[in-house]
Structure 1
Amino acid sequence: MATFVLVHGGWHGGWCYRRVADLLRAQGHVVFTPTLTGLADRSHHFDETIDLTTHQRDITNLIRWEGLRDVVLAGHSYGGMVITRVANDVAQQLSALVFIDAMVPEAGECLADLMSPALRDRIKALAAEGETSLPPIAAAHFNVNADDAQWVDSLCTGQPVRTFTEPAGDTSGRDTFANKIYVRAADYPSPGLDAMAERAKAQGGWRYEEIAGGHDLMVDNPQGLADILLGA
């Protein structure tokens, strides 16, 4: 029996992993799909102070307070920023790090640094204007399958602006971790995510996987993603 902690990406919540979690639990595994503070079912906790550190603590504290060991820790998209931080806190309690079409920040980089120039400029403008939340981007932009796009859009919520602008900081916990996997979505063209995949490959010590589906692989291809997680 394995233990999985699955961290969602921007604008999403733990709900997005429902299908993957069902597949893993059906085989007797323990699965946690926490929602990060200020999003989805925890959107009532939103405030302007929420940042990457807040979300790091969400996951680190879950692992510590639940007394988890040998955890397969996975992060989707923005979740790569989060699990990079968490690896510094609880590396000894992890068995694998899985980056699902995710950011692989270097020390000092923030999420906005890794996004398209247009979105980066939008985030900077919002921050300069004192805005605290970036509205969701339509699921169709991420090539989520047509049958599920409306469902995804109905559940996404605004993302705290400070999560885009706080630097990743120290990445040594991730960089020195032995068992790392990068999973790329084959049906979501993205120069930025291609660059993240190439960065992982260039670092060495990573396994690379590519599976069918849009950016939200847990929605588009839950079985394919579950199989990779089980093999981590």
Structure 2
Amino acid sequence: MTDYVLVHGAWHGSWCWKRVRDRLQSAEHRVFTPSLTGLGERSHLLGREVGLDTHVEDLANLLVWEELRDIVLVGHSYGGIVIRQVADRLPDRMRALVYLDAFVPEDGHCLNDYLPDQGQRFRDQAAASGDGWKVPPPPAAYFAVNAADAAWVDGLCTMQPLSSFAAPVRLSGACDGVANIGYVLATGFPGSPFPQFHAAAAERGWWWADLPCGHDIMVDMPAELTALLLERG
């Protein structure tokens, strides 16, 4: 039995992992799918003080209080930034790291640094529709979510704190010492910012894989993703 910890991306929550979680549990593994503070069923906790540091503490505390070790830690999109910092803080608890169509920032950089517009679109959206400090979710169609699930995803996504996109990461480099690290790229996401991290993964000697779907891989191709996690974890 393996412990899998699956971390969602911006605007999402634990709900997006349902299909993968069910499959992993059916294979007799333990699965944890925390919703980060202010997101998903914890959206009532969203406030100006919530940001990347809060989300890193959410995940680190889960590992400590659930006494989790030898885990497969998976981060989707913005969740890649969260898992990278937690793995840097607690590398001895990691069996494997999987970046799922995710940001993989270097020390001192933030999510906005890896976007063509340096996050200006998010700042504009926050100013227009989020009281200046929270970003409304893009429509599922933007992420190329399959048509059958688009309304479901749209109905469950929630506001994201703007500050979480501008906060720089602080890394010692211990996260890159984990023995098993991989990157999974969604090839059906037009205008994706993630190929840059996929290419860097190959250069680092990490394993890598492509899946022909939109950005929300866990929604679009849960069976294929589960098989990959079971094979590589």
TM-score by length of 2: 0.94
Q: Tell me the residue number matched to 1:198.
A: 199
Q: Distance in 2 between matches of 1:161 and 1:122?
A: 11
Q: Is the 8 A contact 2:97 2:180 kept in 1?
A: yes
- Once the two structures are superposed, residues 11-65 of structure 1 have per-residue CA deviations (whole angstroms, 9 ceiling, x without a partner) of 0001000000000000110000000000110011111011111101101100110
Change (3 A) 1:70 1:147: same
Q: Distance in 2 between matches of 1:221 and 1:127?
A: 31
Q: Tell me the residue number matched to 2:184.
A: 183
Q: Tell me the residue number matched to 1:83.
A: 83
Q: Tell me the residue number matched to 1:215.
A: 215
CA-based RMSD of the aligned residues comes to 1.6
Q: Is the 8 A contact 2:95 2:178 kept in 1?
A: no
Gaps of 5+ in 1: none
Q: Tell me the residue number matched to 1:120.
A: 119
Q: Distance in 2 between matches of 1:70 and 1:150?
A: 37
Q: Distance in 2 between matches of 1:200 and 1:65?
A: 31
Q: Distance in 1 between matches of 2:41 and 2:143?
A: 22
> How far off is 1:229 after superposition?
1.1
Change (3 A) 1:139 1:84: same
> How far off is 1:212 after superposition?
2.3
**153-162 vs 182-191, which moves further:** 182-191
Q: How does 1:40-55 map to 2 (within 5 A)?
A: 40-55=40-55
Q: How does 1:49-198 map to 2 (within 5 A)?
A: 49-117=49-117, 120-125=119-124, 131-170=132-171, 172-198=173-199
> How far off is 1:170 after superposition?
1.1
Q: Secondary structure, in 3 states, of the residue corresponding to 2:119?
A: helix
Q: Secondary structure, in 3 states, of the residue corresponding to 2:193?
A: helix
TM-score by length of 1: 0.94
Change (3 A) 1:125 1:169: farther
Q: Distance in 1 between matches of 2:125 and 2:150?
A: 26
Amino acid at match of 2:119: R
Change (3 A) 1:120 1:70: same
> How far off is 1:183 after superposition?
0.3
Aligned residues: percent identity? 46
Change (3 A) 1:123 1:189: closer
Gaps of 5+ in 2: none
> How far off is 1:126 after superposition?
6.2
Q: Distance in 2 between matches of 1:123 and 1:186?
A: 23
> How far off is 1:76 after superposition?
0.2
> How far off is 1:189 after superposition?
3.0
Q: Distance in 2 between matches of 1:173 and 1:98?
A: 15
Amino acid at match of 1:167: P
> How far off is 1:186 after superposition?
2.1
Q: Secondary structure, in 3 states, of the residue corresponding to 1:154?
A: helix
**8-17 vs 183-192, which moves further:** 183-192
Amino acid at match of 1:123: F
Amino acid at match of 1:134: V
- Once the two structures are superposed, residues 60-116 of structure 1 have per-residue CA deviations (whole angstroms, 9 ceiling, x without a partner) of 100110001110000000000000100122111110000000001011111111223
Q: Distance in 2 between matches of 1:113 and 1:177?
A: 25
Q: Is the 8 A contact 1:84 1:173 kept in 2?
A: no
Q: Secondary structure, in 3 states, of the residue corresponding to 2:120?
A: helix
